[in-house]
Amino acid sequence: MLHVTWYEAGKPDPNIPAPPWARVFGIANDGTVYAPAALTGDEGATLEKAAAEGIAAAMKNEHAFLPIPWLLRAYPYEFEVIRVCRIIDGFARELRPHRPS
């Protein structure tokens, strides 16, 4: 069963208005990082697209979160999606336990 641990990325910038959920991300027990589906600009359409491809969303506070690898494959030309996913992945890397090579 999928278990997601939720985190908040960084501190809010008072100059950039953003809803609280926009800074939330999750790390699943298998290491997959989840970002807000609404990054694409249309959470509902993104959820439909993910579901059509068999991608399950994780939910938190009535918002959908999708795996970053899928978001990057599904929206390869969306600069803001790529930028935010990379930022979130950077935060997630700092939280993952170090695994020796």
Q: Distance between CA atoms of 18 and 23, rounded to whole angstroms? A: 8
pLDDT at 12 (0 to 100): 62
Residue 100 resides in a domain: no
Range of the domain at 45: 4-95
Residue 72 resides in a domain: yes
Regions of the chain short of the pLDDT cut 50 = 98-101
pLDDT at 32 (0 to 100): 94
Whether the CB-CB separation of 83 and 46 falls below 8 Å is answered with no
Residue 101 resides in a domain: no
pLDDT at 15 (0 to 100): 62
Alpha helices in 1-101 (DSSP H): 43-52, 68-74, 79-95
At position 82, the amino acid (one-letter code) is I
In the chain, the number of structural domains is 1
Helices (H) and strands (E) in the chain — how many of each?
A: 3, 5
Model pLDDT for residues 42-70, shown as the tens digit of each residue: 999 999 999 999 999 999 989 999 999 99
